[in-house]
Amino acid sequence: MPTPPDGHHPVEGISGSELRRDVSVWGSYMWGYAAVGADIYTALGIITLAALGLAPLAFLAAGIVFALVGLCYAELASAYPLAGGGQYFTLRGLGDLAGLVAGAALVLDYTIDISLFTVVAFGYFNYFLPWITLGHHITDFTVTLGPIHLAWLWLVESVAGIVILIWLNVRGIKVSTNFNEIIGTVAIVAQSIIVLAGFVLVWRPDIVAHEFLFDRPTLSQFAFGSSLAIIAFVGLETISQVAQETRRPATIIPRTSIGLVISVLLFAMAFSVLAIGLVKPTDFAGHEGDPVALIAGHIPIIGVVAAPVTALIGFLIVFISANSGVVSSSRLSYSMSQFDLLPHWFAHVDKRFATPARAVIVFGVVALLQTVFAFFTPGSPGKTAAIDVLADLYAFGATTGYLLVFISLFVLRLRDPFTPRPYKMPLNIRMTYRGNQVWFPVLGALGFLGVLFFLIMVLLTHHYARIVGPLWVLAAIALFFLYRRKQALPMFKTLPRDWETATKKVLLEAEEFKSLEEYEAALNEHRARTGEPGTNLPGMPR
């Protein structure tokens, strides 16, 4: 459907999908794995240094909440398969301003995702630096500028890597998806070999018990470590971000989301337990950029080969995780602009490559600026200050966005019982709301409380996140108000949208004909029972 002459999108808020459906089942899983599965390559070192002997418990606490978030997203993304993810779910459930806040928080995370994972990717790449530069280590390419210890070569590598990602994503998602599938498959095989070899050949449970009993962190350290551990599981939203480019999303997304939750949780727990039974937590100091390679190097027989191979795979898998950040930030801003939360300029789709090229470039540049800022942050000699700063910032956006998504889950269950849900979160209580039978998600309530706990921990213990995160959201709100005022749109009210037409259009474009039939049947039954011409969907014109 073309955009009307007045420049505004149709009343349902969707002008028709210009994005190609090129993502298959394995591609959908690999987009999630690229975002989440690589997190252990990044998070293992900094979390173990923070939580010490209780690092596995920190991973477990974050992993349980991650599993609940995954189930929530599996339900919502299969019911509402559009680009936008948590921002779109929040918009549907809570309105424009809340949708903006969720979108801004998640965009912050995605740009940091690009920065952090590109930096860590080249941390793994620099494992080979002594071989390439005749014995020189990365510290030999560092200059001191007062309190700043600038690893200039690492910075140059990271900037070049982000530029490559911008170019790759302007050209199209199919190229990125194929890249993810190949490297992701190799990474899963390599991770399995390292874990199995480590536990069989060298892992010692007595060391784990000793560390658990005698190398405990303080309560403040454990709270900080647990809040950092949430970054080991951030990125599940990527599956829903590419839902509008996924074939048969209502069928595929629940399977890929649940499969991703199980596989990532198993790998995260396996690596954290293996690490504590293999090396002392303090041994990760100086190896925040290549923690899995450190573990692999301690495995006898295969260690000599496993360490460099792991470093190479770590570089590739973390780099495609940064790639998923580019995809998610651009698709999210594309969705927000369609609903008048951002200027329509962000919704422009390149005619040649069918990608939101403007959004890709804008948020890629934001990631570049964040990377430069992190490298110019004061830090101790030999300490990876850039990774510490970016990791500190990372958890704010995810916890804020996830909190709003859980609230939206509750609201949409109550106010939109008609949209087919190919998958529902387990453990539901049946109740009646406004004459309609609805189901209250018990696990959703537990997930909400878990995410709320982590958000509080982030605000209490993350020095950069508690300042930068709220300032970013406030800046987004200011931009939103300026844009709405310029377009003569209400700043505080939610625009009226025909969600019924939107849902039908999305299901039709996704070729989810069974879900479309169920939706129309539910609406007809409701209208026959109540005699109402419309539905109780939020924001729908009556």
Residues 15-46 have pLDDT tens digits of 444 455 555 666 667 767 766 777 888 889 99
Alpha-carbon distance of 323 to 316, in angstroms, equals 10
Residue 542 predicted with pLDDT over 70: no
Alpha-carbon distance of 32 to 305, in angstroms, equals 28
pTM: 0.84
Longest dimension (CA), the chain: 81
Q: 30 by DSSP, 3-state: which? A: helix
Q: Which CATH class is domain 25-413+445-484?
A: mainly alpha
Q: How many CA atoms lie within 13 A of 245 on its CB side?
A: 29
What are residue 440's DSSP bridge partners?
429
Which DSSP state fits 532? -
Alpha-carbon distance of 315 to 320, in angstroms, equals 9
Alpha-carbon distance of 283 to 109, in angstroms, equals 29
Mean pLDDT to the nearest integer, 351-365: 86
Instruction: Indicate the pLDDT class of residue 178, thresholds 50, 70 and 90.
Output: low
Lowest-pLDDT range, 207-211, 352-356, 422-426, 446-450? 352-356
For residue 375, the model assigns a pLDDT of: 92
For residue 82, the model assigns a pLDDT of: 75
Residue type at 258?
Answer: I
- Give pLDDT tens digits for 472-482: 999 999 999 99
- What is the Rg, in whole angstroms, of the alpha carbon atoms belonging to the chain? 23
Q: 439 by DSSP, 3-state: which? A: strand
Mean pLDDT to the nearest integer, 392-396: 86
- Give pLDDT tens digits for 242-300: 666 666 777 787 888 888 888 888 888 999 999 999 989 999 987 888 898 889 888 88
- Give pLDDT tens digits for 213-228: 999 999 888 988 888 8
What are residue 441's DSSP bridge partners?
428
Residue 541 predicted with pLDDT over 50: no
Between helix 55-79 and helix 39-51 the angle, nearest 10°, is 140
For residue 146, the model assigns a pLDDT of: 81
For residue 17, the model assigns a pLDDT of: 47
Q: Are 19 and 349 in contact (CB under 8 A)?
A: yes
For residue 6, the model assigns a pLDDT of: 42
Q: Mean pLDDT over all residues of the chain?
A: 83
Residue 431 predicted with pLDDT over 80: yes
Alpha-carbon distance of 45 to 51, in angstroms, equals 10
